[in-house]
Amino acid sequence: MPPAASRTRRPAVIAHRGGGREVPENTWSAVEHVAVLGLEWMETDLRLTADGVVVLSHDEDLRRTANDPRTVGEVMWAELADLDSGDGRGFVRLDDALYAHPTMRFNVDLKDSNVVQAALQTVRDAEALERVRFASFSARRLAMLRRQEPRAMTSLGVSDVLGLMLRSAVPLPQTRWGWTRGRVDAVQVPESYHNVPVVTRRFVASAHTAGLEVHVWTVDDPVQMRQLAELNVDAIMTDVPTLALQALG
C-alpha cells in the first residue's frame, strides 16, 4: 500500500445537520449558520411529504422537532410549512435551500427509498448536480440512484464500506470495485463501530488509492478532530462546526 499523500490543508468541516449543537438542526437557521461560517458543505437529511415535496428532516416523525406525532410522509407541504421546525419557522424544502444559497454544497442523506426519485429530480430542476452529494446507509438505494443519473455524486453505502475495510486489512487481488457505475467520490464512516476501529491509516490510504475522500462522522471533540487530521482524513462532520474551525485552524 503506497503511503498517504502529505496534507496541504486541514480537513474540511462539514456541518452535520447544519451544526445541530449550535443551532436547531435542519432548519433555516442551520442553513444560514453554515453560510455565515463560510463552510462549503452542509450535511442534511431528506424525507418526502404526503404530496411529494422533498424536505430537510432527519426523523421519520415530527415528535422531536415539532411536537407532532405524525410522520413527515403523512403531512402535506402546506401544513408542514406552517409547523415550527425548531427555530420558529417552517420546515425547509430542498429546492428552496438550493435556490436561496446557490454556492452552498449539500451532502444529503436519503432516509427512505421513496425519496430517491423526488430528490434527484429536485436537484436536476435546480441544476445543482455539481453541488449535491447523495448519501445513504443503503448501498442498494445509492446504486438505484446512480443507475437513474450517472452524473450524480454519491458516497458509499454500508456494504461497500465493509468491502473497503476488508481490502485495507487483507491483501486482495486487484479486481474491479463494486461501485464502478456513477460518480462515487467519498466514503463516510464513523471513527469506530461497536469498538472496532474503522478509520485507520491503512483504511484512509486504501480509500485514497481508490480515488475516494474519507469523511468521518459525527466528531464533536477537538482532540479527536486533530487526531483524525493526523490520519489524513479529508473531512470531519460535526455538530459543532464553529468549534471544529477553531480546533483545526
The answer to whether residue 208 is catalytic is: no
Output the CA torsion sign for 178, 135, 43, 165: negative
From the CA atom positions of the chain, what is the Rg in Å?
A: 18
Which is catalytic among the residues 33, 58, 208, 215?
58
Which is catalytic among the residues 16, 33, 208, 215?
16
| Amino acid sitting at position 187 | V
Q: What single DSSP character describes residue 91? A: P
- How deeply is 148 buried, as exposed, middle or buried, from its count of CB atoms within 10 A (0-12, 13-18, 19+)? middle
The answer to whether residue 215 is catalytic is: no
Helix/strand/coil for 75: coil
User: Which residues, 6 or more positions from 230, have their beta carbon under 8 angstroms from its beta carbon?
Assistant: none
Catalytically annotated residues:
16, 58
